[in-house]
Structure 1
């Protein structure tokens, strides 16, 4: 359940002047409750971890601790302003604190002078979102993957989500609305195509990679002064994963010009796709192997299908995972992703050609 305001005793654990701190809700994340705290001595982001989603929040805290140590040890590698989001310890040095209800709170650095967008409206935003992801991927080099535990078992494992969906067959709601029928049909028809990425990677040997896990445009911070990307946030899902999922999710969110709410406007913009890929490869340079680059289209296909499936499964469960006003909101989000998926599939040849040209 969301909270309207963090308890003052929690704020006191992170700053000395809690009584005069200004607190505002920050962002529109689907999972955690996030607040911006403007205190006398500093400003910081304060989050309550959603334990319904993350049953073992200590894994998140430990992962972020290791990630923060790694990122803080790196020197600047670009002339463009860049600020990593890192963990801020409480005044007693602890990485997180627990309130009277048992909720876990943690503090993160706040990037001053930043702004974020729910969807891209300019080619510069598209290019910079791709650049931010490529830059972040390179900054993960050297981080010991063995230190990073999986906070969500089965995360970005399509087979896992399909099993959950199949188990719900006997629990589905009554009714044959066109919206429900549409989602069911897409899940059935596009299943094999969406599984190509996982099946292909499982047969080939690629180097172990760390990924962001949720690099949608809403998790990129832009400089208010020059509109350039300056940070990539929401690091709870950083861990071992497929880079194609990351790149695919980045493209999925940027290139859907209609945003996440309207299925009528959900289309995949090829001009924005070219800009995003250009930005990514500019920052990542030779980070990806040729075989990995060839699977980027399959990453877009897989992650869009996966997200639609997860939204629809959550709708069938009554909206337990994603924040929403009603389960029908989650159903609508599933429709958006599946409508977008059909457009992505229709544009496969062009997307593959763009990827091949820009990855050279």
Structure 2
């Protein structure tokens, strides 16, 4: 299969189309990703095109990753941080025909999962994300630049929902009446979050912001955690971003694309494994306020994602890809169901948290 890859991109890293094999890989929706295998070298690389429609300032990504990489190399030299490889000119990225590219080392004997199939995987992934946060505990998060401004800002997402609600058609508003009611009824989640923001022990941290299972590499045989990948969204944030996104994506056996809402259930063994893994790294550094908000982090992120899907539906589907007109409405319904399941299981989930905080 002929790949639409400019030879100048390869040249920037010292290669040509004649001395490498290139295969497009990955299930991500944002960046195009390729596996590059030099014919005369016993190593492989990941080559990625950065989607500037999503990441409008690629230089911010490069600066953030260099700052974090330099800090970890100095303070934790044995930690495996997937740092981009510089171009032949010493640049952090290649800029070719108005596109940004970067090359990363390929980590052999690892696997990136799209779906969790056992609690151990949730434990290992949560442990890896927690470990990265722990190692960066003393790094000044506010020296990093937001690579997607407002990405996990629930206040902003609610404003966008309100604007869409006021501007949408009567037809779309009618189709989404129940979900609009859910969105308004759960406004208390935003108010609750805002009541905590003044606390001095609710710090900004270096957060990954996209902690789905495919963004951590596991040992291909043992499923033990190896390292965190897909680091474009490393930027300042609250701990709830990472832990909440794990809850949103690990706890149910089905993704946001499942339309049979009877299947949307919380898997308690996966929740327990995730909490154990995360707190095995983070328990010692989380503040009293952060410990109070562990379960709330799931509500925060799930509600925010429900709002984003609903907002996109009301905006006539301008952001998330769809293959039928009401797909984003179905996704919103799915997330509101997951939110209700989290609340229904709240006592048992909180008991698991308390046991692992001891």
Question: Normalising to structure 1: TM-score of the pair?
Answer: 0.89
Q: Residue 84 of structure 1 corresponds to which residue in structure 2?
A: 81
Query: In 2 relative to 1, CA 144–117 (structure 1 residues): closer, same or farther, beyond 3 Å?
Result: same
SS at match of 1:104: strand
Query: In 2 relative to 1, CA 119–293 (structure 1 residues): closer, same or farther, beyond 3 Å?
Result: farther
Do the aligned partners of 2:165 and 2:311 also contact (CA within 8 Å) in 1?
A: no
Q: Residue 69 of structure 2 corresponds to which residue in structure 1?
A: 68
Do the aligned partners of 1:211 and 1:238 also contact (CA within 8 Å) in 2?
A: yes
SS at match of 2:266: coil
Do the aligned partners of 2:165 and 2:173 also contact (CA within 8 Å) in 1?
A: no
SS at match of 1:300: helix
CA deviation vs aligned residue, 1:318-344 (integer Å, no higher than 9, x gap) = 444445556644443333222211111
Q: Residue 53 of structure 1 corresponds to which residue in structure 2?
A: 54
1:282 matched to 2:280: yes
Do the aligned partners of 1:244 and 1:300 also contact (CA within 8 Å) in 2?
A: yes
Moved over 6 A (4+): none
Further displaced range: 323-332 or 234-243 = 323-332
1:14 matched to 2:13: yes
- Distance in 2 of aligned mates of 1:267 and 1:240: 31
Give the CA deviation at 1:113: 1.6
Give the CA deviation at 1:289: 1.9
Of residues 310, 314, 325, the one that matches 1:312 is 310
Q: Residue 110 of structure 1 corresponds to which residue in structure 2?
A: 106
Q: Residue 193 of structure 1 corresponds to which residue in structure 2?
A: 189
Aligned-residue CA RMSD (Å): 2.4
SS at match of 2:148: coil
Do the aligned partners of 2:21 and 2:36 also contact (CA within 8 Å) in 1?
A: yes
Do the aligned partners of 1:134 and 1:281 also contact (CA within 8 Å) in 2?
A: yes
Q: Residue 116 of structure 2 corresponds to which residue in structure 1?
A: 120
Query: In 2 relative to 1, CA 36–322 (structure 1 residues): closer, same or farther, beyond 3 Å?
Result: farther
Give the CA deviation at 1:224: 0.3
Of residues 285, 301, 304, the one that matches 1:303 is 301
- Distance in 2 of aligned mates of 1:249 and 1:278: 16
SS at match of 2:217: strand
1:209 matched to 2:205: yes
Give the CA deviation at 1:176: 5.1
SS at match of 2:184: helix
Q: What runs of 5+ residues in structure 2 fail to find an aligned partner?
A: none
Do the aligned partners of 1:119 and 1:259 also contact (CA within 8 Å) in 2?
A: no
SS at match of 2:295: helix
Q: Residue 269 of structure 1 corresponds to which residue in structure 2?
A: 267
Further displaced range: 128-137 or 205-214 = 205-214
Q: What runs of 5+ residues in structure 1 fail to find an aligned partner?
A: none
